[in-house]
Amino acid sequence: MIVKTINGKSPELGEDCFIAENATIVGEVSMGKQCSIWFNAVLRGDVHYIKMGNKVNVQDGAVIHCTYQKSPTNIGNNVSIGHNAIVHGCTIQDNVLVGMGAIVMDDCVVESNSIIAAGAVVTKGTRIASGTIYAGTPAKKIKDVSPELSSGEIDRIANNYVKYSSWFK
């Protein structure tokens, strides 16, 4: 793994976290407990900070970055960032699934208990209401998150990634 100090700011890794051997974490990045950063994921806290809560998984090839002196990235608890997703200069609240290949741009707020569908592009400044699913390009609301979807997808994936990461420790 590459964990690098940039401009005097070093990543702070949480307790019981898994970082893949070829993941890259640089600069002002902090994460809570039970996080996992998977193969080829990049977290660049070089131009602004990235703060992550507990039980966040950043899957293979995902990129988390910010905008210089303007838009940091804040990620809550129990969040899954899917394979090859891009999360850039935005806020992702608790219990969120960002699907594979999705893009969440600067100054977006994804409220708790929401799903960003695979391949969706959430354009700059969009606010995703709590408990909704957004899909498409540009992303639009397609429906509400049912309790079954919340436990069957959002919770299941976050919990599975805690289990998967235990296999690598």
Q: Taking residues 131-155, report their average pLDDT.
A: 93
Q: Return the domain boundaries, the chain.
A: 2-168
The 10s digit of each residue's pLDDT in 50-60 is: 999 999 999 99
pLDDT of residue 104: 98
Exposed e or buried b for every residue in 27-63, given b needs 16+ CB within 10 A? bbbbbbebbbbbebbbbbbbbbebbbbbbbbbbbbbb
Class of the CATH domain delimited by 2-168: mainly beta
The whole-model pTM stands at 0.95
The 10s digit of each residue's pLDDT in 87-116 is: 999 999 999 999 999 999 999 999 999 999
